[in-house]
Chains A and B, each alone.
Chain A
Amino acid sequence: MRDVAVIGVGLTKFGERWSSGLKELLAEAGIAALEDANISSNDIEMLYGGTMASGRFIGQEHTAALMADQLGFKNTPAVRIENACASGGSALRQAYISVASGIHDIVVVGGVEKMTDVTSAEASTALGGAGDQEWELFQGITFPGLYALIAKRHMYEYGTTEEQLASVAVKNHENACKNQLAQFKKRISIEEVMKSKMVSDPLKLLDCSPISDGAAVAVLAPLDKARKYNDTPIKILSSSQASDTLRLAERDSLTELKATKIASQLAYKHAKLEPKDIDVVEVHDCFTIAEILAMEDLGFYKKGKAAQAIFDGETALNSKLSVNTSGGLKGCGHPVGATGVKQAAEIVWQLRGDAKDRQVKGAEIGMTHNVGGSGATAVVHIFERAD
Chain B
Amino acid sequence: MEEKQFSGNGVIHSFTKIRVPPDTFKEEAPYDIGIIKLDEGPMVEGHILENGKEPKIGEKVKVAFRRMYVEGDEDLIYYHYKFEML
Contacts and interface: CB of A to CB of B under 8 A. Distances in A.
Given A125-B23, A140-B24, A249-B35, A149 B16 contact: yes
A137 B20 contact: no
B21 A142 contact: yes
A141 B82 CA distance: 13
Interface in B17-35: 17-26, 28-29, 31, 33-35
A153 B22 contact: no
B16 A153 contact: no
A122 B57 contact: no
A192 interface: no
B20 A120 contact: yes
A139 B31 CA distance: 10
A91 to B, nearest CB: 27
B35 A248 contact: yes
Contacts of B13: 153, 254
B44 to A, nearest CB: 6
Contact of B22 (A140, A198, A201): A140
Contacts of B31: 140
Contact of A141 (B20, B23, B33): B33
A135 B45 CA distance: 7
A152 B16 contact: yes
A141 B47 CA distance: 9
A200 B45 contact: no
Contacts of B29: 140
Given A121-B22, A249-B44, A249-B45, A156 B69 contact: no
Nearest to A128: B22
Interface residues of A, number: 34
Interface in A142-201: 142, 144-145, 148-150, 152-153, 156, 197-201
Given A152-B57, A249-B35, A254-B14, A124 B20 contact: yes
B31 to A, nearest CB: 7
A139 B80 contact: yes
Interface in B43-82: 43-47, 57, 68-69, 80
A140 B28 contact: yes
A121 B44 CA distance: 25
Contacts of A279: none
Interface string A192-215: 000001111111000000000000
B16 A139 contact: no
A247 interface: yes
B8 to A, nearest CB: 16
Contacts of B19: 197-201
A224 interface: no
A256 interface: no
A293 to B, nearest CB: 14
B18 A152 contact: no
A291 interface: no
Interface in A89-121: 120-121
Given A121-B23, A139-B33, A148 B44 contact: no
A125 B25 CA distance: 11
A150 to B, nearest CB: 7
Contacts of A199: 19-20
A387 interface: no
Interface of A: 120-122, 124-125, 128, 135-142, 144-145, 148-150, 152-153, 156, 197-203, 247-250, 254
18 contacts: A121-B21, A139-B33, A139-B46, A140-B47, A140-B68, A141-B33, A141-B45, A142-B22, A145-B16, A145-B18, A149-B16, A150-B14, A152-B16, A153-B13, A153-B14, A156-B14, A200-B20, A249-B35
Given A121-B20, A139-B80, A149-B16, 14 more contacts: A139-B45, A140-B69, A141-B18, A142-B22, A145-B33, A148-B18, A149-B14, A149-B33, A149-B35, A150-B14, A152-B14, A198-B19, A200-B18, A247-B45
Interface of B: 13-26, 28-29, 31, 33-35, 43-47, 57, 68-69, 80
